[in-house]
Amino acid sequence: MSEIDVAIFTFDPERRLRLINRAGETLLGRPMDKLLGKTAQELGLHACFEADDDEPLTLSFPGGSGRWGIRRSTFREQGLPHELLVLTDLSRTLREEERRAWQRLVRVLGHEMNNSLAPIKSLAASLESLLRREPLPTDWKDDASSGLNSIASRADSLSRFLQAYTRLTRLPPPQKQDIDLAPLIQHVVDLEPRLKVQVRPGPKTVIRVDAAQIEQALINLVHNAVDAALETHGNVTLRWRETANCVEIFVEDEGPGIMNPANLFVPFFTTKPEGSGIGLPLCRQIAEAHDGTLALMNRADRQGAQALLRLPRN
């Protein structure tokens, strides 16, 4: 694993190495006098000139391997164009981000598992104590049946949670086709029985998406909006508009608003007694699989929250 911070290389017009810093020498495993004059191809750096600046590269060198951020620029020296290549080691940063992500995930998973296993353990102990009594109480069958039903209920809740986890981690790639947005939105609204969701008609819009996935995302967003609106006897509105290169779909409620925005997209985090905590992470995963975005915020015009799903038009 690499422990190089920033390696800097300068190349002439023929992409022969003209200058290198100490980190670059360490990365390539040779001193400067053995490296100068060699081409980027010979040094194993040719891929860095073909890569997108915004995409980290996974590369291996004699002095280290890992994920690298690539930055390139040009300058002139003695009238000739030269290229500057900077490799930034992202390995430690990514490992730290990964560690924090796992900590959050384990914390939420542990909380959810404990919520189910603790009462199961307690009920099992109570049933064991009941069956050891001599003589057995006259109503022991009723108590045993009630305890076993409670255990089954908690086990079923845990099973649903694990199924939700599997669903979140196995989202298939979207199968895109041209879809008329208005009928899809109306179908989503018709599936919500608890509250009449108001649809504000927008422009006739055709988007290229996986209809089933986008429908599922909107169902989740509308469901959350209705949950919030029912707390305050408010309304839910769904509308859309077109911009230059995308479609923006708004799901707005008149509920109490967002109280803890930091945990909105943390998988398995939920404030609902029967919630799985995967609805919003799944919605965002669907949006990003379509090269779109999902944002949630408190409304500026009144009490409540607004979900904004942006999708490319093509």
11-58 confidence digits (pLDDT tens): 999 999 999 999 999 999 999 999 999 999 999 999 898 877 667 888
Interval 112-157: pLDDT, tens: 677 677 778 888 888 899 888 988 888 889 988 988 988 888 787 6
CATH number at residue 272: 3.30.565.10
308 shares a domain with 190:
yes
d(CA 180, CA 191): 18
Distance CA 131, CA 139 (A): 12
Provide the pLDDT confidence category of residue 168 given band limits of 50, 70 and 90.
low
The pLDDT score that the predictor gives to residue 147 is: 86
Same domain, 18 and 104: no
Q: In terms of Cα–Cα distance, which of 71, 306, 290, 311 is closest to 181?
A: 311
What is the per-residue pLDDT across 252-271, written as a single tens digit (0 to 9) for each? 999 999 887 665 665 545 55
Question: Which CATH number fits the domain that encloses residue 69?
Answer: 3.30.450.20
Distance from C-alpha of 47 to C-alpha of 50, rounded to nearest angstrom: 5
For the stretch 133-148, what's the b/e string if a residue is b when 16 or more beta carbons lie within 10 angstroms of its beta carbon? eeeeeeeeeeeeeebe
Stated pTM of the model: 0.53
> Is 308 found in the same domain as 183?
yes
Residues 186 and 257 in one domain: yes
What pLDDT, on the 0 to 100 scale, is given for residue 92?
A: 72
Query: What's the pLDDT at 108?
Result: 61
Is 186 found in the same domain as 163? Answer: no
Domain span at residue 274 reads: 177-312
Reading the block at residue 123, the tokens are 């009920």
Domains contained in the chain, number: 3
Q: Is residue 271 part of a domain?
A: yes
- What integer is the mean pLDDT of 175-191? 93
Domain end: 63, 89, 115, which one?
Answer: 89
CB neighbour class for 244 (10 Å; exposed up to 12, middle 13-18, buried from 19): exposed
Integer-rounded Cα Rg, in Å, for the chain is: 28
**CA separation for the pair 45, 305 (Å, rounded):** 49
In this prediction, residue 60 has a pLDDT band, given cuts at 50, 70 and 90, of: confident
What whole-number percentage of the chain has pLDDT above 90? Answer: 42
Q: Is 268 exposed, middle or buried (0-12, 13-18, 19+ CB in 10 A)?
A: buried
Q: Is the residue at 1 inside a domain? A: no
Band of residue 104 on the pLDDT scale cut at 50, 70, 90:
low
Is residue 218's pLDDT more than 60?
Answer: yes
| Selection from 267, 198, 185 nearest residue 229 by Cα | 198
Gap between the Cα atoms of 304 and 108, Å rounded: 26
Task: Tell me what the pLDDT averaged over the chain comes to.
Answer: 84
| Separation in Å, CA 300 to CA 169, 263, 305 | 34, 21, 9
- List 248's β-bridge partners, or say none: 241, 310
pLDDT for residue 102 is more than 90: no
- Domain boundary at 142, 169, 196, which? 169
Among 65, 89, 113, give the residue marking a domain's end: 89
Q: d(Cα 41, Cα 15) in Å, to the nearest integer?
A: 9
Report pLDDT for 1: 40
Q: How confident is the model at residue 5 (pLDDT cuts 50, 70, 90)?
A: confident
DSSP code, position 299: -
How distant, in Å, are the alpha carbons of 92, 109, 110, 116, 173 from that of 106? 21, 5, 6, 15, 26
